Copies of this chain bind each other. A is one copy, B any other.
């Protein structure tokens, strides 16, 4: 590790975002509106419970109200959509987060797409994805937005760089590829069927690991001096990146925990505040 190497500290970015958010919340409250995030948890997966609790705590720290809807594991798709529709119609709710994954018997895509676009602060709807891919206004998916935010905070150039994204999920790999493309990166999207993945990753000036496999990306895959962003979060508090070996190779890297995670949560709440502001302007 050289002295030029940067640890991209997500908590620093989240703290930086916090100041502006607190000011905005105060401004909105003066109008008599209390920004409110509704989270929906289906079943009792311990990790999901933890995530929902972390999001609620972060809301509380920023003066944002949050409500939790907890539904039993056997909830049907139709019942879940009914709950979402209630929240869509509730004027006191400004953002809706459906914690994923939902139990397998539920049509997750249908549930996501039931969230009204105005309240889709987590950026999970099909429509939100497309609007963002086409550069239009909608809340972008939070983790991809957090990745861009970290790169911008640390003044890492995106335009003209070759970004390699490992993963193609609808809420991470695909939207982050689209966002990097819109920021004028040359973008390669890889996945489980990619041949010679290590060689492809070695092309990247910026490497985004979004694959969901613990310690998957090795230092030997990283072009010396590349920027490594670890968007993974696996059991045992480890990311998708083999941090020690990748740290050696990279010019900048996000740790796990304390990298993308805190910025993702801050982004979610920022979107909720923004939604409250926009919905209040419209009322």
Contacts and interface: CB of A to CB of B under 8 A. Distances in A.
A186 interface: yes
Give chain A's interface residue range (CB within 8 Å of chain B): 20 to 34
B160 A134 contact: no
Interface string A163-191: 00000101000100110010010111111
A159 B126 contact: no
Number of copies: 2
A193 B160 contact: yes
Nearest to A129: B130
Nearest to A175: B133
A186 B174 contact: no
A188 B159 CA distance: 15
A92 to B, nearest CB: 29
A186 B181 contact: no
Given A186-B191, A191-B186, A193-B160, A127 B127 contact: yes
Given A130-B133, A200-B162, A189 B186 contact: yes
Interface of A: 109, 126-127, 129-131, 133-134, 136, 159-162, 168, 170, 174, 177-178, 181, 184, 186-191, 193-195, 200, 203
